[in-house]
Amino acid sequence: MDFIKGIFNAVADPRVYFLLMVLALVGLVWKRESIASNAFGYGALGVFTLFFALGGLDPNFRLIITKPDNVPIVGLIFLLVFFVWYSMKQAVVNDRRIAKGEGPEEAAESDRVWVWPDLVYTELISLIVCSIVLIVWSIVLKAPLEQPANRAVTPNPSKAPWYFLGLQEMLVYFDPWLAGVVLPGLIIVGLIAIPYIDTNKKGNGYYTFNERKVEITLFLFGFVVLWCSLIVLGTFLRGPNWNFFGPFEYWDLHKLEALTNVNLSEYFWVRALGQPLPTNYFLRELPGIVLVLLYVGALPVLLSKKLFKTYVDKLGAPRYYVTVFLFLMMMALPIKMLLRWIFNLKYIVGIPEIFFNI
């Protein structure tokens, strides 16, 4: 048993965990034909239930998943896995029908029905079921109340509410001005922009994957892998000092993690050129600044010439540049993660003098 727990603890390491999430997405998209069966759905449900049931025998695991405010996230995991699978399944079913020339299932159901009684009763039943669930949940689980607020005693870890823990996890890789302000702002802007930059006319009003491969893959990456899975990571696997703890690991306040992160300027001036760091901070950070400018400024142009040429033709220049900018901003997080994990890179541009660290 300890051996198995050890495996889970190791797998939950942020690096492995993130890699597995990406692989899961790749698998989902690639093997969607075989995943879209009820057998797979029930199987996955069984495995997850088994994991939480058996895991619940472990005191450390139980402690973290039964913390009242964490219970919704256990629910979120199940609901998310279910609905990702379910929407994918419907997409595959429709894609098969479309391939046969039958049109999506929704088209076969496009005749109109009376709202009363068909819809009104469905709504009523959902409402009753939802109320019952909520009431039972409220009776079974007490809302948490800790000690009265005390500014002199900082709990360790101090966590934001759970829906912001993905952002808090980003703080490991970015400074607050990016992780807490600019990137969340771009998430909102990017979401609003989706309908205006997606010019694909197909796939409007029915489940499909084949007609919208890129859009759906990107959205799943952003929503499931970056947003939701980092929330799960931040909630269950981050303990005191925001150190990583496996799901079956005791939250030891004194766990030490070696921090040997190095700035790009150090790599460039000291290690590559063998010089001391320049005293002028602009000069010191010039390599990083150039890199960042290349990433935001030159890369979109370069990509438009080759790799993304079809998109420029399809979207037109303005839409293309907005899309690529948003895409690169989204990819900034996984890129920074990789740089941190592989090179121990702390900042690409590090000017703490004016709080400008990237």
- For 35, other C-beta atoms within 10 Å of its C-beta total 19
201 near another protein, rule: CB under 8 A: yes
- The yes or no reply on residue 160 touching another protein (CB under 8 A) is yes
CA-to-CA dists, residue 280 to 227, 287, 351, 352, angstroms:
38, 13, 10, 13
By CB under 8 A, name the one of 13, 33, 102, 106 that touches another protein. 106
Q: Which of 1, 2, 99, 154 binds another protein (CB under 8 A)?
A: 154
Using the rule CB under 8 A, is 101 a contact of another protein?
A: no
Stretch that binds another protein, among 9-17, 48-56, 253-261, 348-356 (CB under 8 A): 348-356
Using the rule CB under 8 A, is 63 a contact of another protein?
A: no
Distance CA 69, CA 328 (A): 34
Q: How far apart are CA 173 and CA 245, in angstroms?
A: 18
Among 138, 241, 275, 344, binds another protein (CB under 8 A): 138
Q: Under the criterion CB under 8 A, does residue 38 sit at the interface with another protein?
A: no
**Residue 216 interacts with another protein (CB under 8 A)?**
yes
Smallest separation (angstroms) from another protein to the CB of 201? 7
Least CB distance to another protein at residue 227 (A): 8
User: Residue 110: how many CB atoms within 10 A of its CB?
Assistant: 10
Dihedral (CA of 351, 352, 355, 358) sign: positive
Residue selected from 203, 288, 300, 350 as contacting another protein according to rule CB under 8 A: 203
| CA gap 226, 333 in Å, rounded | 8
> What's the Rg (C-alpha) of the chain?
24
139 binds another protein (CB under 8 A): yes
The site for another protein, by CB under 8 A, has a size of 93
- What's the gap between Cα 158 and its chain centre? 21
Q: Judged by CB under 8 A, does residue 232 bind another protein?
A: no
